[in-house]
Chain A
Amino acid sequence: MSWSNIGLHHYLIISAVLLTIGLFTVATRRNVVAILMGVELMLNAASLNFVAFSHYVHGSVAGQVFSVFIIILAAAEAAIALAIVLAIFRHFRVIDVEETATLRE
């Protein structure tokens, strides 16, 4: 793994960093839309991983096909998640996972 010859490892490192930052965002933010942004970061990390493997290991476009499906499903998920966010906001008046946790023990 050299500095100037960009190979598979470089893309895997970037995708691992994106995944961990996305996981940190989902775990620590209180705003629901911020958590959704963290989920988008993780989806982008996985998609980048697929494209890197498709280019450097497999040689076909199968990884890019999967990345297109990831983009499609991220769009569907963002639409429904934001509709739910709007419904929650209409009911609770705040978007905060701590304030809206009414399913207590």
Chain B
Amino acid sequence: MTPIIFYGLALLVVLSALGVALARNILYSGFALLGTLLGVAGLYLFIGADFLGVAQLVIYVGGILVLILFAVLLTNRIGQVKISSLSVNRLVGAVAAALLFGLLFEVMLDTPWPQIEEAAAPTTARLGDAFLGEYLLPFELASLVLLMALVGAMVIARRAAKAPANSEAEAQAIRRLE
């Protein structure tokens, strides 16, 4: 029973990732990314990382994916189908990706991983102990990083106040750029 769940989640993840890579319409890519993130959250829950699975759902799907969809909405004409470039870049990209996968597969098969048997246990308490014990400094620094990202994103995305042109040539150059 349980291997079927795993292979179903794996299939969801891989097919959705292919949808992100190959979909012509960028909005379809966004929805395929939703499928990938849901599949990865399911894999986290399957392996026993319960807190991480729920955090993935809340933050990745509920936050980052919504942010990406907002960006798609604000920067594209949704009705128009975006034709991605079917040039030689795709073939070269696919060959390079396949080579990388072959390398990773070979390394994974040849390395003798020291595996242990461990039963799945609830991780929330252990994660709380780790975050407030051994990993306290990175935790505080991560909150600082989030604050900086918030302020920085607001500064970058706001409409810059139009400065008065110093000369006629400068004003003409600005007008030509817009």
Interface residue ranges, A against B (CB under 8 Å): 1, 3-14, 16-25, 27-31, 33-34, 36-38, 40-41, 44, 47-48, 51-52, 55-57, 59-62, 64-65, 67-69, 71-80, 82-87, 89-91, 95, 98
Determine if B101 and A16 form an interchain contact, defined as CB atoms under 8 angstroms apart: yes
Instruction: Kindly supply a per-residue 1/0 record for chain B positions 8-50, scoring 1 wherever the CB is within 8 Å of any chain A CB and 0 otherwise.
Output: 0010011001101100001001100100110010011011110
Determine if B157 and A17 form an interchain contact, defined as CB atoms under 8 angstroms apart: no
User: Within 8 Å CB of A33, what residues of B?
Assistant: 26, 30, 68, 71-72, 75-76
Determine if B150 and A79 form an interchain contact, defined as CB atoms under 8 angstroms apart: yes
B98, CB-defined interface residue at 8 Å: yes
Determine if B60 and A74 form an interchain contact, defined as CB atoms under 8 angstroms apart: yes
Interface residue ranges, B against A (CB under 8 Å): 2-3, 6, 10, 13-14, 17-18, 20-21, 26, 29-30, 33, 36-37, 40, 43-44, 46-49, 51-52, 55-56, 59-60, 63-64, 67-68, 70-72, 74-76, 82, 84-85, 89-90, 92-94, 96-98, 100-101, 104-105, 108-109, 113-116, 118, 120, 123, 126-127, 130-131, 135, 138, 142, 145-146, 148-150, 152-154, 156-157, 159, 177-178
